[in-house]
Amino acid sequence: MIVIMRHNASTAEVANVAARIEQLGCQAHLSEGSERTIIGVIGNDRAIDKAHIEMMSGVERTVPVLRPFKLASRDFHPMDSVFPINGISIGGKEIVMMAGPCAVESREQLLETAELVKAAGSHVLRGGAFKPRTSPYSFQGMGEAGLRILAEARQKTGMPVVTEVMSPEQVPLVTTYADILQIGARNMQNYALLHAVGEAQRPVLLKRGLMSTIEELLMSAEYILSHGNQRVILCERGIRTFETYTRNTLDINAVPLLKQLSHLPVVVDPSHGTGHWNLVAPAARAAIAAGADGLIIEVHPRPEEAMSDGEQSLRPDRFAELVETLRIIAVAVDRTLEP
Ligand code: PEP
Ligand code: MN
């Protein structure tokens, strides 16, 4: 349940209700809005008598929360979550662009791409150093050497870096180099990994699983939030359907739905969502029009030479053109896309 405090409730009254909730064996999560404080009750709240809580001083009412996700839910946190990531902010009025190659392939390739995407208007640099590949014979990424190259690119361009972490053991290593920890679609329900990034001191970009429902995505976000990390970015990257012309089916519905159900920022990946470079720009435009807070896009200076996902990677000039059209769409939906 959530406990809605009166708008003039004192700090002592809020603390008193929170203490009572804890005494009854649940956890109290405070969400302080400009109007009033909301206390989220986490745990087995069936043991708590709502009439008893409603009699406490400063309490306006209690509301049952029927959905299984709590901390991720907008009921608990009515305002949008907006948080800083090394100099930029996500979840607010400004759209955040993340771009770069699928994988870090070499120092030259990454530094060249980083400069080009930055010049085109990207705010964050993407690039995988640990790659979850369908085949064990495919390029698996450069590992720590790739992370070092990403850190060098950050230092040269000033862009924060987002990169994938594939196992709980890798979290400390990836955390030393990355600004945002990416949880790949294949690992969305790797609960040990969600627990580990829940304890990390970095924002997390959580990608929707290939065959996962929106509720399952939000439950995975709940794992991270419940382990103490409040900086979770949800990422719609397409799901598997019967369609074979595209790699995945980008679920545009997920964008407004996630924004309604949750306060967390929502980013769309039109590269994996479509699988074809010539579908990336239209899908990206649709995502911004639908209310996404940002995009993550694969860009490669020579897509035909890419070691992974070349067919869905944009050339830097095409990425630059796309960003210009997105600026116009952003304004149409009362957002901005700053250089
Ligand atoms: C990626 O971002 O390169 C990637 C592997 O994405 P996903 O986990 O969504 O397939
Ligand atoms: Mn990829």
21 and 120 fall within a common domain: no
Per-residue model confidence (pLDDT) at position 234: 99
What does pLDDT average to over the chain? 96
185 within ligand 1 shell (Cβ under 6 A): yes
**Closest ligand 1 atom number to CA of residue 235:** 9
Which CATH number goes with the domain that contains 193? 3.20.20.70
Q: Does residue 254 fall inside a structural domain?
A: yes
Residue 54 shares a structural domain with residue 128: no
| Reported confidence tier of residue 45, pLDDT bands at 50, 70, 90 | confident
Q: Are residues 16 and 151 in the same domain?
A: no
| Ligand 1 centroid from CA 18, angstroms | 40
Asked if residue 179 lies in contact with residue 155, where contact means CB atoms within 8 angstroms, the answer is no
What's residue 327's pLDDT? 97
Ligand found nearest the CA of 207: 1
Could you say which ligand is closest to the alpha carbon of residue 133? 1
Of the residues 138, 140, 164, which should be mutated to test ligand 1's pocket, given the most ligand atoms within 8 Å of the CB?
164
Closest CA to 105 of 306, 250, 249, 280: 306
Q: 103 C-alpha to center of ligand 1: Å?
A: 10
Close Cβ partners of 79 (under 8 Å, ≥ 6 residues apart): 31, 33, 263
Q: Is 272 in the pocket of ligand 1 (CB under 6 A)?
A: yes
Which of 208, 202, 203 has its CA nearest to residue 272? 208
Span from the CA of 182 to the centroid of ligand 2 (angstroms): 12
Please report whether residue 68 resides in a domain. Answer: no
CATH of the domain at 27: 3.30.70.1140
CA 226 – CA 190 distance, rounded (Å): 15
Q: Mean pLDDT throughout 323-331?
A: 98
Q: Which of the pair, 198 or 76, is modelled with greater confidence?
A: 198
Q: How far is CA 213 from CA 73, 221, 243, 251, in A?
A: 16, 13, 17, 11
Which residue type occupies 98?
M
- Count of domains in the chain? 2
Q: Is the same domain home to 52 and 107? A: no
For residue 240 and ligand 1, the question of a CB distance below 6 A is answered with no
pLDDT category at 47 given cuts 50, 70, 90 is confident
Minimum-distance ligand to the CA of 127?
1
Q: Whose CA is nearest to atom 6 of ligand 1?
A: 184
What is the identity of the amino acid at 156?
Answer: K
Which residues, 6+ apart, have CB-to-CB distance to 128 below 8 Å?
101, 102, 103, 104, 141, 146, 163, 164, 182, 308
Q: Are residues 308 and 232 in the same domain?
A: yes
Residue nearest atom 1 in ligand 1 by C-alpha distance: 102
User: What is the number of the ligand closest to the CA of 163?
Assistant: 1
Please indicate, yes or no, whether residues 108 and 243 belong to a single structural domain of this protein. yes
User: How would residue 187 be classed by pLDDT, with cut points 50, 70 and 90?
Assistant: very high
Same domain for 100 and 55, yes or no, is no
pLDDT mean over 149-174 = 98
Q: What is the pLDDT of residue 46?
A: 84
Quick check: CB of 237 below 6 Å from ligand 1?
yes
- Residue 123 in any domain: the answer is yes
Q: Evaluate whether 8 touches 36 at the Cβ level (below 8 Å).
A: no
Residue ranges making up the domain that contains 6: 2-63
Q: Which of 30-44, 220-234, 256-270 has the lowest mean pLDDT?
A: 30-44
Burial 194-223 (b: 16+ CB within 10 A, else e): bebbbebebbbbbbbbeebebebbbbbbbb
Residue 310 has pLDDT above 90, yes or no: yes
How far is ligand 2, taken at its centre, from the CA of residue 299, in Å? 10
pLDDT of residue 171 exceeding 90, the answer is yes
**Residues 91-102, mean pLDDT to the nearest whole number:** 98
Position of tokens 């409603």?
Answer: 54
The DSSP code for 76 is: T
- For residues 238-250, give the mean pLDDT: 98
CA of 272 to the centre of ligand 1 (A): 7
> CB neighbours (10 Å) of residue 272?
26
pTM of the model: 0.95
Q: How confident is the model at residue 190 (pLDDT cuts 50, 70, 90)?
A: very high
User: Residue 70 domain-assigned?
Assistant: no
Q: Is the pLDDT of residue 66 over 90?
A: no
Q: Is 128 in the pocket of ligand 1 (CB under 6 A)?
A: yes
pLDDT at 43: 87
